C-alpha cells in the first residue's frame, strides 16, 4: 500500500506569484506610522521588514494610492515618483535575505477628514458618516464628517490612481500587490449595502456594488498579471462602523467573482478579533473555499495552535499573523523551533509617530531573517 501523503504544514513551502514561499505564514498588513509627513518609505522601514522576512510573505502596511486616499498621519504613499522610488530600499532589503513582499494598496474613503484634504471633505460611495470615535489629524482628534459621495465620472480617476500605484510598485520591485478591500475603507464602502446607497452603476445590486473593486482588480492585474494581485476582505468586521444585513450574500458573490481571475490569493479576515458586526453567523474560511478555488489566507486572532491547525486541516493555505510579529520579528523560527515568544509589550508604543526604532525595530531577533 502506498503511504498516504503527509498533510501540509504551516512550515511547508507554497508556490505563489512565481515564487516559492518558504512557509505559509504571512506578516499581516499593519499600520506603523513611520513614514513621516512626506509619506516616504525610509531605512527604518526597510530594516523593520527585513527583520520579518523569515515569514513566507510580507504584506506591507496599507499604502495610499492618492492624496485623496490619505486618512492617517505618517502612513506611506505610492502616488508620487519619489514615494515609489523610496520603496526600492525596502524591496531590496527583503530580497537580500530571500523574502517575498507584497505592497498593500489603500484608499481610506470616508475614514478620513478634511484636515487631510485642504478643507475638502473626504469621499465615499455615499454621504454616510462613520458613527464612531473620531480621526487623528494634524490638528488633533476630530469628529468624523459626512463624506462627499464620489460623482460617477470621478470613479475612473480613482481606478487610474490604483493602476498608477501598481506601475510604481512594479518599478520599485514588489513581488505583488494586495488590494485593501476590508475594514471599512473605500472599496469596502462601495461593496457593502450599509455604506453604498448609490443609484448609478456602482450601487444598488451586489453586481453594481462590486463594480469598483472589479475595475481595480482588472486594472492592477493588467500591470502585474493577476497571479501577483491579491484582495483582502473583512466579511465579519465592524471596524469603521461596518456590517451589513446582506453580508453573506455580498461576500459570497464577491469571492465567486474574484475566483475567475487567477489571483495570487484571497485574504479573508475570518477571525473576530478586530470586532464583529453581529449581523448573523460569522462567515468562515469554509464558506470562502466553497466559491474561491485559489490560495486562501485566513487572518485575525490566530495563534500558533490555530494557525497550524487551519493549514494542516486544509481550511487555509496560509495564515496572516499581525500583532505577535510586532515583538517577535523572527516569529516563524520561534514557532517552528518551540522557542519562547516575547510578550506583546506596551501597545502604546506601537503607533508613535517618531521615526525611531523604539517599539518598532528594536525587538530581539534570534537569527538572521534566513
What are the residue numbers of the active site? 185
Q: Where are the alpha helices (DSSP H) in 39-130?
A: 43-51, 81-86, 88-96
Q: Within a 13 Å sphere around the CA of 160, how many CA atoms are in the beta-carbon half?
A: 5
Nearer to ligand PHB, 62 or 316 (CB): 62
Q: What mask, x for binding ligand PHB by CB under 6 A, covers residues 115 to 144? A: ------------------------------
Neighbours of 198 (CB within 10 A): 18
For residue 78, what is its C-alpha cell? 505610492
CA distances from 109 to 28, 65, 137, 288 (A): 21, 11, 15, 26
Least separation, in Å, of the C-beta of 223 and ligand PHB? 23
Helix (H) or strand (E) holding 61: strand 57-64
**Which member of 28, 40, 48, 72 binds ligand PHB (CB under 6 A)?**
72
Contacts of 80 (CB under 8 A, 6+ apart): none
Nearer to ligand PHB, 31 or 208 (CB): 31
Q: Is 62 in the site for ligand PHB (CB under 6 A)?
A: yes
Cβ–Cβ under 8 Å, residues 311 and 8: yes
**Which member of 31, 142, 208, 284 binds ligand PHB (CB under 6 A)?**
31
Closest residue to ligand PHB, based on beta-carbon distance: 31
Nearer to ligand PHB, 265 or 335 (CB): 265
Q: Is 193 in the site for ligand PHB (CB under 6 A)?
A: no
For residue 370, what is its C-alpha cell? 534566513
Helix (H) or strand (E) holding 60: strand 57-64
Nearer to ligand PHB, 27 or 369 (CB): 27
Cβ–Cβ under 8 Å, residues 52 and 100: no
- Do β-strands 140-142 and 135-137 pair in parallel, antiparallel, or remain unpaired? antiparallel
Q: Is 257 in the site for ligand PHB (CB under 6 A)?
A: no
Least separation, in Å, of the C-beta of 193 and ligand PHB? 20
Least separation, in Å, of the C-beta of 351 and ligand PHB? 8
Sign of the dihedral through C-alpha 285, 289, 291, 295? positive
Neighbours of 118 (CB within 10 A): 7
Helix (H) or strand (E) holding 104: strand 101-106
Nearer to ligand PHB, 31 or 355 (CB): 31
Least separation, in Å, of the C-beta of 293 and ligand PHB? 25
Residue count of the chain, please give it.
370
For residue 2, what is its C-alpha cell? 502506498
Least separation, in Å, of the C-beta of 179 and ligand PHB? 12
Nearer to ligand PHB, 275 or 282 (CB): 275
Least separation, in Å, of the C-beta of 182 and ligand PHB? 6
Q: What mask, x for binding ligand PHB by CB under 6 A, covers residues 87 to 106? A: --------------------
Cβ–Cβ under 8 Å, residues 50 and 91: no
**Which member of 183, 250, 252, 304 binds ligand PHB (CB under 6 A)?**
183
**Binding interface with ligand PHB (CB under 6 A):** 31, 62, 72, 182-183
Amino acid at each position: 500500500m502506498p503511504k498516504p501523503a503527509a498533510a501540509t504544514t504551516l512550515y511547508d513551502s507554497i508556490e505563489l506569484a512565481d515564487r516559492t514561499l518558504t512557509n505559509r505564514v504571512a506578516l499581516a498588513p499593519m499600520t506603523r506610522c513611520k513614514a513621516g509627513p512626506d509619506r516616504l518609505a525610509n531605512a527604518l522601514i526597510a530594516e523593520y521588514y527585513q527583520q520579518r522576512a523569515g515569514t513566507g510573505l510580507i504584506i506591507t502596511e496599507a499604502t495610499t494610492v492618492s492624496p485623496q486616499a490619505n486618512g492617517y498621519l505618517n502612513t506611506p504613499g505610492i502616488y508620487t515618483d519619489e514615494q515609489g522610488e523610496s520603496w526600492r530600499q525596502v524591496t531590496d532589503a527583503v530580497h537580500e535575505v530571500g523574502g517575498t513582499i507584497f505592497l498593500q494598496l489603500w484608499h481610506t474613503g470616508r475614514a478620513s477628514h478634511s484636515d487631510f484634504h485642504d478643507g475638502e471633505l473626504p469621499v465615499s460611495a455615499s454621504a454616510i458618516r462613520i458613527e464612531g470615535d473620531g480621526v487623528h489629524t494634524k490638528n488633533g482628534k476630530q469628529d468624523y464628517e459626512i463624506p462627499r459621495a464620489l460623482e460617477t465620472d470621478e470613479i475612473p480617476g480613482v481606478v487610474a490612481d490604483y493602476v498608477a500605484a501598481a506601475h510604481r510598485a512594479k518599478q520599485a520591485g514588489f513581488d505583488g500587490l494586495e488590494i485593501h478591500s476590508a475594514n471599512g475603507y473605500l472599496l469596502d464602502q462601495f461593496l457593502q449595502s450599509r455604506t453604498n446607497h448609490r443609484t448609478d452603476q456602482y450601487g444598488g445590486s451586489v453586481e453594481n456594488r462590486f463594480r469598483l473593486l472589479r475595475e481595480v482588480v482588472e486594472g492592477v492585474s493588467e500591470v502585474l498579471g493577476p497571479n501577483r494581485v491579491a484582495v483582502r476582505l473583512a466579511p465579519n468586521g465592524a471596524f469603521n462602523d461596518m456590517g451589513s444585513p446582506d453580508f453573506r450574500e455580498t461576500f459570497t458573490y464577491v469571492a465567486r467573482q474574484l475566483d475567475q481571475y487567477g489571483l495570487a490569493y484571497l485574504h479573508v479576515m475570518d477571525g473576530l478579533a478586530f470586532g464583529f458586526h453581529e449581523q448573523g453567523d460569522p462567515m468562515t474560511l469554509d464558506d470562502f473555499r466553497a466559491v474561491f478555488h485559489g490560495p486562501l489566507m485566513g487572518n485575525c486572532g490566530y495563534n500558533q495552535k490555530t494557525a497550524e491547525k487551519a493549514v494542516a486541516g486544509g481550511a487555509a493555505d496560509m495564515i496572516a499573523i499581525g500583532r505577535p510579529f510586532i515583538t517577535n520579528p523572527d516569529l516563524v523560527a520561534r514557532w517552528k523551533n518551540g522557542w519562547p515568544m516575547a510578550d506583546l509589550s506596551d501597545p502604546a508604543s506601537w503607533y508613535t509617530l517618531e521615526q525611531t526604532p523604539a517599539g518598532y525595530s528594536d525587538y530581539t531577533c534570534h537569527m538572521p531573517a534566513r
